[in-house]
Amino acid sequence: MTDLHVSFEFFPPKSEAMQAKLWASVEKLRPLSPDFVSVTYGAGGSTRERTHETVSRIIREAGLPVAAHLTCVAATKEEVDGVLRDYWAEGVRHIVALRGDPPGGPGERYVPHPGGYANAAELAAGAKKIADFEISVGCYPEKHPDSPSQAADLDMLKRKIDAGATRAITQFFYDNDVYLRYIERVRAAGVKIPIVPGIMPITNFNGLRKMADTCGATIPGRLVKLFQNLDEDPATRQLIAATVAAEQCLALAEQGVKHFHFYTLNRDDLAYALCMMLGVRPQAARKPEAAA
């Protein structure tokens, strides 16, 4: 039996059709016994309510441990604390504490809300004051675009750990060396918490390029070449995406990575296949193996 751990990230759906797709994905991935599933949090009231509804439904109906993402954007500390109290009351025990992006999108200068938490470290400390939440945070193998240097970025990670974070999940990356060098740097700096690689299988290459530009993640030239001239050929794109992600995950597992966090974009297909490749099987299929 594999000793690998997995977790899956979902986003709150906007329509009935997207809701059905998300729920089908939760059902498909649930038997893989993820350590947790996480639900992203966006700016604006209705998006926030959708996160809350999605988190509640997963706890109620799927019985999976949920990590609810929470940001500091456009909210006072009292408002954020209210969300934290509601989550705790509903059985949420794990928060992914994030600063969030400026309301105008990444690339604009981030200005904290005058009465709000200034960054993820402050938010993590605030959450710990409300209840004994498990806290995960984001981290950036290629450094966050707002960080003046890798050293400043690492310093921010340490502040988040001092505030109570016990796990960091990375921004997506496609060059494993970037992740492995980052691990060397953070360990050399005395960081001991798990740094879980965030795996983003490529479903829409053009969309990914835009996202990578704004969040400072590099897309290696070899991937640009691989996806060239395939805009009208989704079947081939999907096969290449699966191969690229499988190669990435298997190489990371060989390097000793024990926990993979999948950015599913609410799709189960690639995440499920990657788990199969890694030897993470549905519980029912795992049991006889364990007994053997």
- C-beta separation of 37 from 26 below 8 A: yes
CB of 211 to ligand FAD, least distance (A): 11
Q: Which region among 74-82, 94-102, 246-254, 276-284 touches ligand FAD (by CB under 6 A)?
A: 94-102
Compute the distance between CA of residue 187 and CA of residue 101 in angstroms, rounded to an integer: 27
Helix (H) / strand (E) element for 198: namely strand 198-199
Compute the distance between CA of residue 121 and CA of residue 66 in angstroms, rounded to an integer: 21
Pairing verdict, β 195-196 and 134-139 = unpaired
At 32, the amino acid letter reads L
Residue 264 is a binding residue for ligand FAD (CB under 6 A): no
Closer of 18 and 118 to ligand FAD (Cβ):
118
Catalytic member of 9, 16, 78, 108: 9
CB of 234 to ligand FAD, least distance (A): 27
Residue 87 is a binding residue for ligand FAD (CB under 6 A): no
Looking at residue 109, the DSSP 8-state letter turns out to be P
As given in the structure block, the two tokens for residue 91 are 């059985």
Q: Is 9 a catalytic residue?
A: yes
Radius of gyration of the chain (CA): 19
Residue 266 is a binding residue for ligand FAD (CB under 6 A): no
Backbone angles phi, psi at 196, to 5 degrees: -85, 125
Site string for ligand FAD, 133-172 (x = CB under 6 A): -----x-----x-xx----xx--x------------x-x-
Residues that bind ligand FAD (CB under 6 A): 40-42, 69, 71, 96, 98-101, 106, 118-120, 138, 144, 146-147, 152-153, 156, 169, 171, 198
The residues that are catalytic are: 9
